[in-house]
Amino acid sequence: MLPLLERWLKAAALEVQEYVRLVAAAFRAIVTPPIYRHDIVEQFDVIGVGSLTVVLLTGLFTGAALASQTGLTLDQFGARPVVGRLVSASMVKELGPVLTALMLTGRIGSGIAAELGSMVVTDQINALRALGTDPVRKLVVPRVLAGFFMAPVLTVISDFVGIFGGWIVARFQLQVASGLYWSSVTQALFIQDVEQGLVKPFVLGFVIVTIACHVGLRTSGGTQGVGKATTIAVVAGSVAVIAMDFFVTQVLVSLIY
């Protein structure tokens, strides 16, 4: 039992070490030439525009479900008109960033891990090195930049769509006047809440993409290894999103409030 635990701890420490090395190499490649601008723009399109549909649907139905459930609860206190306040605060501060990040983990994290893993098992990564191209600079940096900058954009879109979905339910199911709903939305949002909702996606987007790149580049074992790497990327990315959301929230609360 003890040797098994020791091997597991050594393997975990090795993975953390390699992840930190990859992140350090990516930071170094970002600030030094050459920079592959075409690949960066392509990844912005793949990660940003390509994820727009799933983010829109997730935000819309999350806001609608939130308004429907909380409206019934608020009825017990005669507070149905403030449903907009609860929807907006929940979407902007917590649900928008986390659910968007989880959707990106499922769509982008798995795709990156599968793509890079396939390149590893088919020796395309070694071919890049043989041609004098740094795989981190060519493959990792564009994806890291796209994930870092597009996650906040998608989160903002998800927030607005979620609040709109809450308005649909509040107006047509809960019979709350539109003016009352939107005034409640604006009254609930403070600049500290908006700052918290905008800082989180930068961190979560970075974590999602770097974990997926790390898992993809560490793939071994042929096509079966690619499938395993994809699963690991989604599971590890999802857990990391929830964990980082907690830690970032604690830091922001201590700094802002």
Site of tokens 């922001």: 252
Q: For all residues of the chain together, what is the average pLDDT?
A: 87
Query: What are the tens digits of pLDDT across the range 185-204?
Result: 888 778 888 888 889 999 99
Query: What are the tens digits of pLDDT across the range 99-140?
Result: 999 999 998 989 899 999 988 888 888 888 888 888 889 889
Cβ burial, residue 39 (10 Å; 0-12/13-18/19+): middle
Residues above pLDDT 70, as percent of the chain: 97
User: Looking at residue 56, what is its pLDDT?
Assistant: 93
Q: Is the pLDDT of residue 26 over 80?
A: yes
User: Looking at residue 196, what is its pLDDT?
Assistant: 84
Q: What contacts 252, CB < 8 A, 6 or more positions away?
A: 195, 196, 199, 200
Torsion angle of the four alpha carbons 184, 153, 55, 95, in this order, in degrees rounded to the nearest 10? -50
Burial call 45-83: b when 16+ CB within 10 Å, e when fewer? ebbbeebeebbbebbbebbbebbbebbeebeeeeebbbb
User: Looking at residue 128, what is its pLDDT?
Assistant: 85
Q: Is the pLDDT of residue 35 over 70?
A: yes
User: Looking at residue 208, what is its pLDDT?
Assistant: 94
- The model's confidence at residue 149, banded by pLDDT at 50, 70 and 90, is very high
User: Looking at residue 155, what is its pLDDT?
Assistant: 93
How far is the C-alpha of 223 from the C-alpha of 212, rounded, in Å? 17
- The model's confidence at residue 1, banded by pLDDT at 50, 70 and 90, is low
User: Looking at residue 102, what is its pLDDT?
Assistant: 93
User: Looking at residue 153, what is its pLDDT?
Assistant: 93
